[in-house]
Structure 1
Amino acid sequence: GGGKPLAPKNANNAAKNSLRVADIGAGTGNLSIMLLERGCEVVAVEPNDAMREIGISRTKDKNIKWVRATGLESGLEDSGFDWVTFGSSFNVMDRSQALKESHRLLKPQGYFSCMWNHRDLNDPIQEVAEEVILELVPNYTRGVRREDQRPVIEQHKDLFDTIIYIEEDFYFHQNIETYIAAWKSVKNPYWDLETSEGQELFDKIAYQMRHKLPSEFDIKYTTRCWSAKARN
């Protein structure tokens, strides 16, 4: 049969109809907040204490529960969710294991989604940023977050089918500090901010960006999202 709509049509019925979502690797809550705005009930899973604290303060008095756990060992109950989402987090864990864990969490016919906001690498601002990073991190690569996620989902045909892919461009007005903060939040192996070396390297990157980029700019991104329906 047809799946539920992604958001209840009538806000008054939100409590009755609201989708229960596990947002895995929720970070500071960017995707969780969008889900809450659409009337969903959210369980946000984030192992990083500093990020989770920011997320908690941003979502006070909302229909959300924060859990300190990793995506692969979330400790959440079996078959408890209509939707499991990964906002810029599916690439930082073993994706096969993450799909198995998502299937465990989902109700029959529930949906899994993984999504990223990708910078347009031809944007002049982005070109300067890449140059700054490559100068300081010569072996920098963008990793699996830019790969097509369809093959890894198709390897798990026993768990998921009906793959849906959507993408959309958008322009975002940023100032240099919010842009640097976005870079800072990127999970990658090059600057681990828990270490003094990682913090020192990132401070050098931020210094160069402040000197080489304007104080405000519009920047193009593309959101890319893969979804699939859980098989019973």
Structure 2
Amino acid sequence: MSELIQKEWDYTKHAQFYSYRPNYAGDAIDVLVAWSKGAKRVADIGAGTGNLGIMLAARGLDVIEIEPNDAMREIGQERLKNAKWIKANGVQTTLSDKSVDWVTFGSSFNVLDRELALKEAYRILKDGGKLSAMWNHRDLNDPIQNVAQEIIKDFIPSYHGGARREDQRPIFESSELFGDIFYIEQDFIFTQSLENYILAWKSVKNNFWDLNTEAGKKLFESICEKWRSKLPQTLNIRYTTRAWNVTKK
């Protein structure tokens, strides 16, 4: 990750709000652990505060957490003490060649130069090793989430979810390093108070508002005021865990 990319995706001010996000669907993670065919050592790239790593460690994997942001890593180390935490990024992990069985990107593949990230993953994976890139997506067809999204677009007509909502298949199909694409998705309901829903949005880093600036704070608060007037006090939010998974050639 270049210095420019690290600055653009600096999550220092957002780290404390990651606990308000839902974690990945448990059954989906179980399927992927089975698909990994006995993987033991996993490098979790862009580990953040350890959401995915906690799920993998709970299933018996030896987890290496790769996270460049100090604030994220500090929280993550408290949450997942039995993992090895490394200050590094997804294109320079510092890991040895062919040293891990599985590489995971939990909501992080989109913030990297994906071509370089695939090359680095290929380098550190053992022969036949596995790679997974996954995200949680709010179901925008759900009436409540549709209202929430339309409120954002009232203020920001060009708003979109960016690369994290794109089909990742073309990225892997164009790579000569990985094959055997295996895609899964699982829906789940996450119940959350409206105020916690707003706090979860404070964990979001995007190009449309910057909470480090007065203008960004003002814009976000305007959106929040509209949410408070239009959304219920308790939200049953439909999410989908989506994961694209490939095997090293």
Q: What is the distance in 2 between the residues matched to 1:45 and 1:95? A: 16
Q: C-alpha displacement at 1:30, in angstroms?
A: 1.1
Q: Is the 8 A contact 2:39 2:102 kept in 1?
A: no
Q: 1:14-40 CA distances to partner (integer Å, 9 max, x unpaired)?
A: xxx771111111112111111111111
What is the aligned partner in structure 1 of residue 230 from structure 2?
Answer: 212
The equivalent of 1:166 in structure 2 is 184
- Which residue pairs with 2:33 in the alignment? 6
TM, length-normalised to structure 1:
0.84
Q: Which position in structure 2 is the counterpart of 1:54? A: 75
Which residue is 2:164 aligned to? 145
Aligned residue in 2 for 1:110: 129
CA distance in 1, matches of 2:147, 2:88: 36
2:199 pairs with 1:178: no
Q: Which residue of 2 aligns with 1:136?
A: 155
Match of 1:13 in 2: none
Distance 1:196 1:209 in 2: 20
CA RMSD of aligned residues (A): 2.0
In structure 1, how many angstroms separate the alpha carbons of the residues matched to 2:92 and 2:215? 29
Distance 1:72 1:196, change over 3 A: farther
Aligned to 1:19: 40
C-alpha separation in 1, matches of 2:68 and 2:224: 25
Alignment check: 8 A CA contact 1:18 1:39 kept: no
Residue 44 of structure 1 aligns to which amino acid in structure 2?
Answer: E
Structure 1, residues 150-202: CA drift from partner, whole Å, max 9, x if none?
Answer: 11101112x11111111111111112233223322233222344445444433
Structure 1 alignment gaps of length 5 or more: 8-16
Alignment partner for residue 89 of structure 1, among 108, 114, 125?
Answer: 108
Change over 3 Å in CA distance of 1:177–1:44 after alignment to 2: farther
The residue that corresponds to 1:11 in the other structure is none
With 124-133 and 111-120 compared, the bigger mean Cα shift is at: 124-133
5+ residue gaps in structure 2? Answer: 1-31
1:67-87: per-residue Cα shift (whole Å, max 9, x none)?
Answer: 222212222222111110011
Q: Give the equivalent residue in structure 1 for 2:17.
A: none
Asked if the contact 2:42–2:100 (Cα under 8 Å) also holds between the matched residues in 1, the reply is yes
Aligned length: 215
Query: 1:149 offset after TM fit, Å?
Result: 0.9
Q: Determine if contact 1:18/1:41 at 8 Å carries over to the other structure.
A: no
Choose between structure 1 and 2 for higher RCO, CA contacts under 8 A separated by at least 6 residues.
2
Tell me if 1:32 matches 2:53: yes
Q: Which residue of 2 aligns with 1:122?
A: 141
Give the Cα separation in 2 of the matches to 1:156 and 1:81. Answer: 20
Aligned amino acid, residue 33 of structure 2: L
TM-score, length basis structure 2: 0.79
What are the Cα deviations for residues 119-165 of structure 1, in whole angstroms up to 9, with x where unaligned? Answer: 111112211221222123232111121221111101112x1111111
